C-alpha cells in the first residue's frame, strides 16, 4: 500500500485522481465496500433530485464491483436507499463487469436474483472485453448489455468490428435484452448504431459526465430548444 500511495502522490497534487488509479487502492484496502455503499446512496440521491425536478424519464446506473457482490449488505442497502428516497426501483440499473461474474458463480447468481426482486435492472458493463462467455447471458439473463468502447471505436473503419457489433445487438434483442453502446464520439458512429438498431448510446458526442445539477441544466436547455 505504501508504494501505491507514493505512486499516487503526483496525481493527488493535481487535485484529480481517475478511477483506474483509485479503484485498485480501494480494492486493496477493503474500503471499496464502504465507498460503494456511499456511491449507491449518492446515485439514488441524484435520481431523486432529477425526478423531483421533473427532468423526464431518467434512468440512473451505478457500477458494483465483485467485492461488493460478495457483501451481504449490498441488497439491504439498495432496498433501504430506494425506499427512503422514494425512488422507482425500475429506474435504477446496477452495472457489473464480466470478470465479476467469474467469482463465486452461484453466489453472484443468487445476489443478482435478489437485486432483480427489488425491481432493479442488471447490466453487463464493458461487454466484449472479458471472457464474453455466452453462458453468462443465459445463466444471468441481464436486462442490458453495454458494448465496450473498443468495438465502437472501430465500427466506421473495420468491417469485422461492425459485423460483431451488429451480431451482438441482434443476439441481445433475441434474448430480450437491450443494448447500450459505450464511448460514442462521432456522428458517423451514432448513425451506424442507429442503423443497427442499437437501443441507447453514451459518450462524449452526447455529453460528458457531471453532477446532477449540471445534468438538469443540460436537460432544461435541450427542452427549451425543442419548444
Claim to verify: residue 42 and residue 6 sit in the same structural domain: no
Claim to verify: residue 48 and residue 64 sit in the same structural domain: yes
* Confidence bin at 6 (pLDDT 50/70/90): very low
Claim to verify: residue 5 and residue 78 sit in the same structural domain: no
Question: What per-residue confidence (pLDDT) applies to 12?
Answer: 47
Q: What is the pLDDT of residues 164-203, one digit of tens each?
A: 999 999 999 999 999 999 999 999 999 999 999 999 999 9
Stretch 26-39: mean pLDDT, rounded? 87
Claim to verify: residue 2 and residue 56 sit in the same structural domain: no
pLDDT at residue 52 greater than cutoff 80: yes
Claim to verify: residue 70 and residue 11 sit in the same structural domain: no
How many domains does the structure of the chain reveal?
Answer: 2
At 64, phi and psi to the nearest 5? -130, 130
Claim to verify: residue 84 and residue 8 sit in the same structural domain: no
| Proportion of the chain above pLDDT 70, given as a percent | 88
Claim to verify: residue 38 and residue 100 sit in the same structural domain: yes
pTM (two decimals):
0.83
Range of the domain at 35: 31-226
Q: Are the CB atoms for 69 and 96 separated by under 8 Å?
A: yes
Work out the angle at residue 46's Cα, subtended by the Cα atoms of residues 42 and 52, and round it to the nearest 5 degrees: 140
Question: What per-residue confidence (pLDDT) applies to 227?
Answer: 47
Amino acid at each position: 500500500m505504501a508504494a501505491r500511495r507514493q505512486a499516487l502522490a503526483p496525481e493527488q497534487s493535481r487535485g484529480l485522481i481517475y478511477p483506474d488509479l483509485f479503484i485498485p487502492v480501494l480494492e486493496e484496502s477493503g474500503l471499496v465496500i464502504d465507498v460503494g455503499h456511499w456511491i449507491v446512496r449518492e446515485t439514488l440521491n441524484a435520481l431523486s433530485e432529477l425526478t423531483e425536478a421533473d427532468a423526464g424519464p431518467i434512468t440512473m446506473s451505478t457500477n458494483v464491483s465483485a467485492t461488493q457482490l460478495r457483501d451481504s449488505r449490498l441488497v439491504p442497502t439498495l432496498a433501504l436507499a430506494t425506499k427512503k428516497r422514494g425512488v422507482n426501483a425500475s429506474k435504477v440499473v446496477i452495472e457489473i463487469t464480466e470478470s465479476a461474474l467469474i467469482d463465486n458463480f452461484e453466489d453472484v447468481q443468487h445476489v443478482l436474483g435478489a437485486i432483480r426482486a427489488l425491481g432493479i435492472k442488471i447490466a453487463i458493463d464493458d461487454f466484449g472485453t472479458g471472457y464474453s462467455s455466452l453462458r453468462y447471458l443465459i445463466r444471468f439473463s441481464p436486462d442490458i448489455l453495454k458494448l465496450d468502447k473498443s468495438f465502437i471505436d472501430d465500427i466506421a473503419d473495420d468491417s469485422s468490428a461492425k459485423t460483431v457489433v451488429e451480431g451482438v445487438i441482434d443476439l441481445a434483442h433475441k434474448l430480450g435484452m437491450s443494448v447500450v453502446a459505450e464511448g460514442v464520439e462521432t456522428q458517423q458512429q451514432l448513425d451506424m448504431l442507429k442503423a443497427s438498431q442499437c437501443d441507447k448510446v453514451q459518450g462524449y458526442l452526447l455529453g460528458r459526465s457531471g453532477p446532477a445539477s449540471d445534468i438538469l441544466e443540460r436537460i432544461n436547455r435541450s427542452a427549451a430548444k425543442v419548444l
